[in-house]
Chain A
Amino acid sequence: MATDNIMKVNLKVWRQAGPKEKGGFVTYENVETTPDTSFLETLDILNESLIEKGQEPIVFDHDCREGICGMCSLYINGHPHGPATGATTCQLYMRRFKNGDTITVEPWRSAAFPVIKDLMVNRNAFDQIQQAGGYVSFNCGGAQDANAIPISKVDADEAMDSATCIGCGACVAACKNGSAMLFVSAKVSQFALLPQGRVEAAKRVKAMVAKMDELGFGNCTNTRACEAECPKRVSISNIARLNREFICAKLKD
């Protein structure tokens, strides 16, 4: 399985010194890597060579490198998280590319996610949406026994599928409208499906949608790009549930 075949790729990377600076593409030619090396490790290799030349490395967000923290966020060859489906950028391996390929690497492009430096963006808007209502309001210590309320396995599994969202922002980057509906609906759904979340479901959905609109995310026009590009395969049926929850909540006003 382990191949030591050297492959060379050209990396066309967005460089931008700061939020207010003008950015542009820089192409780094013949970056040496191997098919078993990850895409981010290939960027590491490039960065080491830049540092050797006394230049500043390319800044990009990354942390766990196992596809769960949601930190990595690259737009590679026109796809959030690159060509692989159901995987984050950090889980992308060079065997997905061919020797001699030119690979274009950009930051998330969205008005709500301003660039901080190079490929790093500010996703604070996502935190603000969660702060608007993405929780169950109770204080630690007052909970009843965990098995006191049975929850059907079907609902629990479905809530888990929604809760699997890693908050990376690929859905927003993929959407031509820059909509955050998939992200918001995943959290709304998780709680809507569980008895613990039902109590304040109406209040939650209104608050989270209002915050999403306020922060400049676009509207959903059902292109399904978000679902296609989501590294955790969060389903757009969550958006349908969000809409249902939202309408029911508004009707009660």
Chain B
Amino acid sequence: MSTIDSKIPEGPVAEKWTNYKAHQKLVNPANKRKLDIIVVGTGLAGASAASTLAEMGFNVLNFCIQDSPRRAHSIAAQGGINAAKNYQNDGDSVYRLFYDTVKGGDYRAREANVYRLAEVSNNIIDQCVAQGVPFAREYGGLLANRSFGGAQVSRTFYAKGQTGQQLLLGAYSSLNRQIKAGKVKSYNRYEMHDVVMVDGRARGIIAKNLVTGKFERFAAHAVVLATGGYGNTYFLSTNAMGCNCSAAIAAYRKGAYFANPSYVQIHPTCIPVHGDKQSKLTLMSESLRNDGRIWVPKNIEDAKKLQKGEIKGSDIPEEDRDYYLERRYPAFGNLVPRDVASRAAKERCDKGFGVNNTGLAVFLDFSEAINRLGIDVVRQRYGNLFDMYEEISDVNPGELAKEINGVKYYNPMMIFPAIHYTMGGLWVDYELQTSVKGLFAIGECNFSDHGANRLGASALMQGLADGYFVLPYTIQNYLSDQITVPRFNPDSKEFIDAQKKCEADEDALMNIKGKRSVDSIHKELGHIMWEYVGMGRTKESLETALKKLKELRKEFETNLFIPGTKEGMNIELDKAFHLKDFIVMGELIAFDALNRNESCGGHFREEYQTEEGEAKRDDENYFYVGCWNYQNSDDKEPELLKEPLKYEAIKVQTRNYKS
């Protein structure tokens, strides 16, 4: 059994990063020019890493599957980015951001990584402002903040409801500067298919040119994956249509451990599913919970009438509404972390209090905020989200619907939890290196900072922390002894063999010649995952899932149909590659969830809950990172390795958002 070395530096948690930087090995400017780095992905992590490495002098090859680096799905993040600036003078500090993040993650994150994240968070805001990111400001000209779930301070920086867009365009602008300078070579509409290993180290990739349909070989001294999460395993999620986990699974097949795959975040405020033709789910930003109040009817009769369409939410007066988050969690109210809010919504709907025709929705109501602040102020804060909601659901949440006993009621939104983010990912050590030498993973692609649940506005923080401020340091420690290694020849045997393997995989898919489309099988996968590996899991449901996934793989391998040929662009073929890996991913999630006989954060096993229905952890037996090691075949169960967690600065306790 392999041992796991997380390479956490010595010393107190607050000094680890400083100590690391003081003692790590560096590469001098003349040598940086001799070294090539492949960065796959152009989201917040990928674009910031590619541009920063190029600024330092490395030669970067940067790949994305979209038509431009600016399209990466980081662009869709709405709410904001956390930092411990304490500009609001409300008691924030690096320690408090660190503490909130560890607690929000239900004590399953690696302490040292989270502390470093909190430490560099302030640099990110400085960097973005210098890039010309137009953050929201107060009239005095200083930066504005708002609150997000799991925090009692206002530490979230934002640019309307488009913070991800603005941060990504900032990173994209830095990237463009380096592309122009010739330090980054940008490959758009290219998809990575494999990592090429030479003498036990990652030395390049095979990528498919999605326009010509041809595989191409690329060599470098190190490979960085910034390819996002695996939420689309569930078919319906808030991820973009193109988001996939194939690059991560390619790394996993090459021996990179996959850590904590069962930690999947289900976001509480998404627009409910409307039908079986739906292609994706739309998120309504968590920032809405600053002023919106979540409720269902107190009386089951009212819920039944809502489900039949006999009454509307605005017909139900204040005294008959159950603001269940405020009732259950007085201290945090509507701003509890996402996993807690999602489970609470499921609990009410399971009990029959759901408010739409499927019984799978709760209300998010702005009546109180509009009565308090006026519609203009509320629209200024959330106008674009109200518009988005109206376009999709044909209901305007800012519209006065009814007046009962002098109280004005506005149309509430309907929301329901949906798959949103994946905390699990490729295992990385403190240096963000995977268990494969020379292969790094950053951003959502790795597992490192969020434990079992990510707090709102922390994904943008982590992506940019990894790309701007962590990887550019740590990768040098790896590259420092590579300066005498000459450039690799992508025509060498290892590269040619890897390309042949990709071509053989492609032929195998084309030759199945069955009857079912990729999407029809993917929808079935999504159904299995949501039903049996979703918000509430049991031993039985997970065993059922594993059995069904095995059958689904068989169906995929024997009954898939891909129209057209492998020459040129074939979008169905590209989707088939993704689906093959989503099935492997689905099994990984189920294996990990089955192994973890406890509930923590986004992973909720119904057998393990308190009398009040809260997640019940088992720190005695599961205080570790679950790392899954591939066993040379998709059909074999992976081996479980454990990285024990060590907490020095924080006392591990039960999460409490009640008082």
Report A's interface with B, CB cutoff 8 A: 1-2, 4, 18, 33-34, 36-38, 40-41, 44-45, 48, 50-52, 54-57, 59, 61-71, 84, 86-87, 91, 93, 95, 116-117, 122-124, 126-127, 130-132, 134-147, 150-153, 156-157, 159-160, 163-164, 166-167, 190-191, 194, 196-197
Task: Say whether, besides A57-B571, A93-B391, A197-B132, A63 and B143 are in contact (CB < 8 Å).
Answer: no
B165 and A68 form a contact (CB under 8 A): yes
**In the assembled complex, how far is the CB of residue B519 from the closest CB belonging to chain A, in whole angstroms?**
6
B143 contact from A1, A123, A139, A146, Cβ within 8 A: A146
A143 and B517 within 8 A (CB): no
Q: Closest B residue to A95 by CB, please name it.
A: B394
The reply to whether A41 and B176 contact each other, CB–CB distance below 8 Å, is: no
Q: Is the CB of A68 within 8 A of B132?
A: no
User: Cβ of B137: which chain A residues have Cβ within 8 Å of it?
Assistant: 151-153, 156-157
Determine whether the beta carbon of B162 is less than 8 Å from that of A150: no
**In the assembled complex, how far is the CB of residue B142 from the closest CB belonging to chain A, in whole angstroms?**
5
Q: Inside 8 A of A59's CB, which chain B residues have their CB?
A: 569, 571
Question: Is A135 in contact with B177, judged by CB distance below 8 angstroms?
Answer: yes
- CA–CA, A117 and B568, complex, Å: 10
| Cβ-defined contact, A2 with B357, below 8 A | yes
B68 to A67, Cβ gap below 8 A? no
- Given A37-B277, A41-B279: A124 and B67 within 8 A (CB)? yes
A7 CB, nearest partner CB in chain B, Å: 12
- Tell me if B127 is interfacial: C-beta within 8 Å of chain A: yes
Contacts of B274 in A (CB 8 A): 2, 36
User: Which residues of A are found within 8 Å of B69, using beta-carbon distances?
Assistant: 127
Given contacts A69-B75, A91-B391, A163-B169, contact A140 B55 (CB under 8 A): yes
Which of B164, B174, B391, B393 has most chain A Cβ within 10 Å? B391
**CB-based closest 4 A-B pairs:** A150-B141, A143-B130, A135-B173, A143-B126
Complex Cα distance, B143 from A122, in Å, reads 38
Q: Which residues of B come within 8 Å of A, CB atoms?
A: 48, 51-52, 55, 66-73, 75-76, 85, 87, 123, 125-132, 134-143, 159-160, 162, 164-166, 169, 172-174, 176-177, 179-180, 186, 188, 211, 240-242, 274-275, 277-280, 282-283, 356-357, 387-388, 391-395, 468-469, 472, 517, 519-520, 561, 563-564, 568-572
Instruction: List 14 additional contacts besides A124-B67, A136-B130, A141-B468; criterion CB under 8 Å.
Output: A1-B394, A50-B563, A69-B76, A70-B71, A117-B568, A130-B70, A136-B131, A140-B174, A140-B472, A141-B127, A143-B123, A147-B85, A150-B140, A196-B131
Q: Complex Cα distance A139/B162, Å?
A: 24
Q: Tell me which residues across on chain B come within 8 A of A91, comparing CB atoms.
A: 388, 391-392
**Which A residues are in CB contact (< 8 Å) with B134?**
156-157, 159-160, 163, 190, 194
CB pair A131–B179 under 8 Å, yes or no, is: yes
Given known A-B contacts A59-B569, A146-B85, A116 and B132 have beta carbons under 8 A apart: no
> When A1-B395, A147-B143, A153-B139 are in contact, do A139 and B241 touch as well, CB less than 8 Å?
no
Q: Assess whether A127 is in contact with B393, with CB atoms less than 8 Å apart.
A: no
Query: In the bound complex, do residue B241 and residue A62 qualify as a contact, i.e. CB atoms below 8 Å apart?
Result: yes
Across the interface, which residues of A come within 8 angstroms of B176, CB to CB?
127, 130-131, 134-135
Residues in A with CB closer than 8 Å to B87 are 147
Contacts of B142 in A (CB 8 A): 147, 150
Complex Cα distance, B241 from A209, in Å, reads 34
User: Contact between A146 and B126 (Cβ–Cβ < 8 Å)?
Assistant: yes
Indicate if the CB atoms of B277 and A44 lie closer than 8 Å: yes
Instruction: Please name all residues of chain B whose beta carbon is closer than 8 Å to the beta carbon of A166 when the two chains form the complex.
Output: 165
Cα-based distance from A51 to B469 in the complex (angstroms):
46
Query: Which of B275, B356, B388 is the one whose CB lies under 8 Å from A67?
Result: B388
**A65 engages B240 (CB within 8 Å):** yes
Shortest A215–chain B CB gap in Å is 14
Name the B residues within 8 Å of A84 (CB-CB): 391
Bound: A24/B127 CA distance, A:
49
Which chain B residues lie closer than 8 Å to A57 at the CB level?
A: 563, 571-572
> Residues of A contacting B125 with CB < 8 Å?
146
- Complex: A117 Cα to B189 Cα, angstroms: 13
B76 lies within 8 A of A66 (CB): yes
> Are B68 and A65 in contact (CB-based, < 8 A)?
no
| Inter-subunit contact A63/B71 (CB<8 Å) | yes
Task: Give the residues in chain A near B166, CB-CB below 8 Å.
Answer: 160, 163
Chain A's nearest CB lies how many Å from the CB of B464? 10
- Secondary structure of the A side of the interface? loop
- The CA of A210 and the CA of B265, in the complex, are separated in Å by 46
- List residues of chain A with CB within 8 A of the CB of B280: 65-66
Closest approach, in angstroms, between the C-beta of B383 and any C-beta of chain A?
11
Contacts of B186 in A (CB 8 A): 127
By beta carbon, the residue of chain B nearest A138 is B130
| Complex-state Cα separation, A93 to B173, whole angstroms | 33
Contacting pair A37 B129 (CB below 8 A): no
In the complex, A16 Cα to B136 Cα: how many Å?
Answer: 44
Given contacts A4-B275, A163-B166, contact A194 B75 (CB under 8 A): no
Residues of chain B within 8 A (CB-CB) of A70 are 70-71, 75
Q: Give Cα distance in the complex from A157 to B137, angstroms.
A: 8
Give the most central of A34, A131, A190: most B CB within 10 Å.
A131
Q: How far is the CB of B538 from chain A (nearest CB, A)?
A: 30
Nearest to A42 among chain B residues (CB) is B277
Structural contact, B141 and A152, CB atoms closer than 8 A: yes
Q: Which residue of B lies closest to A69 (CB)?
A: B71
What residues on B are CB-neighbors of A134 within 8 Å? Answer: 173, 176
Q: Which residues of A contact B391 (CB under 8 A)?
A: 84, 87, 91, 93
**B162 and A51 within 8 A (CB):** no
Q: Least Cβ distance of B234 to chain A in Å? A: 15
Distance (Å) between the CB of A209 and the closest chain B CB? 16
Given B140, B188, B392, which contacts A124 in the complex, CB threshold below 8 Å?
Answer: B188
**What's the minimum C-beta distance from B474 to chain A, rounded to whole angstroms?**
15
User: In the complex, are the beta carbons of A146 and B132 less than 8 A apart?
Assistant: no
A48 touches B520 (CB 8 A): yes
Q: Which chain B residues border A87 with CB–CB below 8 Å? A: 391
Chain A residue, CB-CB nearest to B186: A127
Q: Are B67 and A18 in contact (CB-based, < 8 A)?
A: no
Verify B282–A139 contact, CB threshold 8 A.
no
CB distance from B399 to the nearest CB of A (A): 13
| A64 with B76, Cβ < 8 A, contacts A140-B51, A146-B143, A163-B166 known | yes
Complex contact B563–A55 (CB within 8 A): yes
Residues on B with C-beta less than 8 A from A143 are 123, 126-127, 129-130
Nearest-Cβ distance from residue B227 to partner chain A, whole angstroms = 14
Option from A4, A71, A126, A159 in Cβ contact (under 8 Å) with B66: A71
B573 to chain A minimum Cβ distance, whole angstroms, is 11
A186 to B201, CA, bound (A): 45
Complex Cα distance A56/B75, Å? 30
* Cα(A46)–Cα(B356), bound, Å: 28
Option from A56, A140, A150 in Cβ contact (under 8 Å) with B52: A140
- Tell me the minimal C-beta distance from A31 to chain B in angstroms: 11
Closest chain-A Cβ to B100's Cβ sits at a distance in Å of 20
Give the residues in chain B near A144, CB-CB below 8 Å. Answer: 126, 130
CA distance A10 to B350 in the complex (A): 41
Q: Which of A63, A93, A137 contacts B73 (CB 8 A)?
A: A63
CB pair A61 B275 closer than 8 Å: no
Q: Is the CB of B275 within 8 A of A34?
A: yes
Residue of B nearest to A162 (CB): B134
Partner of B141, one of A56, A138, A151: A151
What's the minimum C-beta distance from B261 to chain A, rounded to whole angstroms?
24
**Which chain A residues lie closer than 8 Å to B143 at the CB level?**
146-147
26 A-B interface contacts by CB (under 8 A): A38-B279, A40-B279, A56-B564, A62-B241, A63-B71, A63-B240, A64-B241, A65-B241, A69-B72, A69-B75, A69-B240, A71-B71, A91-B391, A91-B392, A123-B68, A127-B176, A131-B177, A132-B180, A136-B130, A137-B177, A139-B52, A139-B55, A143-B126, A146-B143, A151-B137, A196-B130
Q: Which residue of B67, B138, B520 contacts A122 across the interface (Cβ within 8 Å)? A: B67
B415 CB to nearest A CB, Å: 13
**CA–CA, A95 to B517, complex, Å?**
28
A63 touches B241 (CB 8 A): yes
Most buried by A among B123, B134, B277, B519: B134
